[in-house]
């Protein structure tokens, strides 16, 4: 084998390797494209699922917030009614106390008047005995 034949053989092998490399590059590009497409499809599906879960969670959160708001308003109304009832009872008791105080004041005035009358009679009797 001559030097030229050897160089031609090496050149043919190199060309063959380059063609193989080009073929491999095309296959790698095709695989990368398929993987990218699959990744994009999976990402889209995951995004859709995440969005669906987020929507469901937001709906559940809204429902819970609504129930809590209703309960807060319900118990708040109960407390208001209880406070109103207590204030009405206190008002009624104060009215009775005021009425009792008025009656006691009148009784004290009557007793004071009777005491003055008795003192006046005692003084008159003492004056009558002295004279």
pLDDT at 129 over 80: yes
**In whole angstroms, what is the distance from residue 71 CA to residue 63 CA?**
12
pLDDT at 89 over 90: yes
Average pLDDT over residues 49-54: 97
Q: How far apart are the first and last CA of the chain?
A: 183
DSSP states along 34-76: HHHHHHHHHHHHHHHHHHHHHHHHHHHHHHHHHHHHHHHHHHH
Predicted pLDDT at 116 = 93
Quick one: how far is CA 54 from the chain centroid? Answer: 19
Predicted pLDDT at 131 = 59
pTM of the model: 0.50
pLDDT at 21 over 90: no
Which is more confident, 79 or 25?
A: 79
């Amino acid at each position: 084998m001559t030097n030229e034949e050897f160089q031609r053989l090496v050149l043919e092998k190199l060309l063959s390797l380059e063609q193989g490399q080009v073929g491999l590059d095309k296959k790698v590009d095709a695989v990368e494209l398929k993987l990218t497409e699959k990744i994009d499809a999976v990402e889209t599906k995951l995004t859709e699922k995440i969005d669906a879960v987020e929507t469901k969670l937001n709906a559940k959160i809204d429902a819970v917030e609504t129930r809590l708001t209703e309960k807060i308003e319900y118990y708040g109304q109960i407390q208001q009614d209880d406070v109103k009832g207590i204030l009405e009872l206190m008002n009624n008791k104060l009215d009775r106390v005021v009425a009792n105080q008025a009656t006691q004041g009148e009784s004290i005035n009557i007793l004071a008047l009777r005491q003055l009358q008795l003192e006046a009679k005692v003084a008159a009797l003492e004056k009558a005995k002295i004279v």
